Amino acid sequence: MSMGTKTGGWAMLGVLAALAVGGCAADTSGQAPGQALAAERPDAPAEASGSAASSGTNVPAALALGGSATPGASASAPPGLASASASASAPPAPPALVDGCPPEMTRIAKYCVDRWEAHLVTRAPDGGVVPHPHNHRPDQGVRYEARSEAGVFPQAYISRVESEAACKNAGKRLCTFPEWRRACQGTRWGRYPYGGRARSTICNSGKDHLLTRFFGPNANHWKYEENFNAPELDVEPGFLARTGEHQGCVSTEGAYDLVGNLHEWVSGIVDDRFMEILERDDVERKKQHWNTGNGIFMGGFFSTTDQLGPGCLYTTVAHEPRYHDYSTGFRCCAKAVVDEPPKPPPAAKKPPGKPKPKPKPQPTAAASVPASPGKP
């Protein structure tokens, strides 16, 4: 089993093809173009791989220690962009919490996680919500908020830095690696949201690679901005799915699409300790070149299977936090609001009483015995 190789240097164009057919390019290894083209190539449908243990469960070492309605598209929006969020009216009052979480989130232990992969919105001058096209890069200098709802296309082409900001602007935060893994693996710690063994048609994964279809099989000709971030990739019918469209791809707590559809950024960075934690998963992964400080995204996307780990264990470490392409997305987490029982008031102190009188000194036994007469 080979997890990864630590390398130095930044050679963006030199590694655009590394893991490229898996939808993620530009690792920081300095590999020659095309050297690792097969790193994420799906050799077979998303079925149980030979590395899947019979138990089908993996509790990460870090944790051991410590409905799908499809709204119609807006006439002014790009293909598939749902109009459910396009209200120009003033924002309503925040909805009531459900088990300590907003209704679009599900409760897990002491935190909440978005039920659906996130999309972006901006605020109109009147306070209304305007959806951002899911297949366009976020614009520089614009304040975006993350939203989670069923039946819309999730935001792709987004970096971890931009994902963190969008979650923060929504009053949330990016999920940590342990939080994401627990949300995906569920109470039984299965390798997939729905259980311990792969089922090829449940989640949106294992499809053809669009870079090859659109730009030809020679990865040496693929360019980062022009090809990996081409807007037409994520409006190609039959590839990126609406949130919750794959109804069986759901965790025990009701979070959808944690495997497949889009890679999902999590917080945290790659370092030696993190790579040691991945080694303890004891699953086969293609070798990834990584640098300390790289970002982490999870779960694979619509064209991967188990190249970097099966299902919930699929972990990509080859890219810096500002990396983005047509396969990168995210969802948010937040701290659950826990109703603590009221603490009893402190016991009232007794008012000070009158000081007790000091006892009078008593004569000692020696003082009460008369002295013996002295000799004449």
CATH number for the domain spanning 85: value is 3.90.1580
Per the structure, the complete domain to which residue 190 belongs is given by: 58-66+78-207+241-340
Cα 228 to Cα 240: distance, rounded to the nearest angstrom:
15
> Quick check: is 165 in a domain?
yes
> Quick check: is 171 in a domain?
yes
> Quick check: is 47 in a domain?
no
Determine phi and psi for 162, rounding to 5 degrees.
-70, -35
> Quick check: is 284 in a domain?
yes
Q: What are the Cα distances from residue 275, in Å, to 3, 17, 55?
A: 8, 23, 23
* pLDDT per residue as tens, the chain (376 positions): 444 555 443 333 333 344 444 445 444 333 333 333 233 433 333 333 333 333 455 555 444 433 333 333 333 333 333 434 443 445 556 677 888 999 999 999 999 999 999 999 999 999 899 999 999 999 999 999 999 999 999 999 999 999 999 999 999 999 999 999 999 999 889 999 999 999 988 999 999 999 999 999 999 999 999 999 999 999 999 999 999 999 999 999 999 999 999 999 999 999 999 999 999 999 999 999 999 999 999 999 999 999 999 999 999 999 999 999 999 999 999 999 987 666 777 777 766 666 666 766 666 555 544 555 544 4
What is the pLDDT at residue 80?
Answer: 38
What number of other Cβ atoms are within 10 A of residue 283's Cβ? 23
Cα 22 to Cα 40: distance, rounded to the nearest angstrom:
5
What number of other Cβ atoms are within 10 A of residue 358's Cβ? 6
What is the pLDDT at residue 308?
Answer: 96
What is the pLDDT at residue 97?
Answer: 84
Q: What does pTM read for this prediction?
A: 0.72
> Quick check: is 261 in a domain?
yes
3-state helix, strand, coil in the chain (%, to 5): 15, 15, 70
Q: Which residue has the tokens 């070149």?
A: 289
> Quick check: is 71 in a domain?
no
> Quick check: is 102 in a domain?
yes
> Quick check: is 372 in a domain?
no
Overall number of domains in the chain: 1
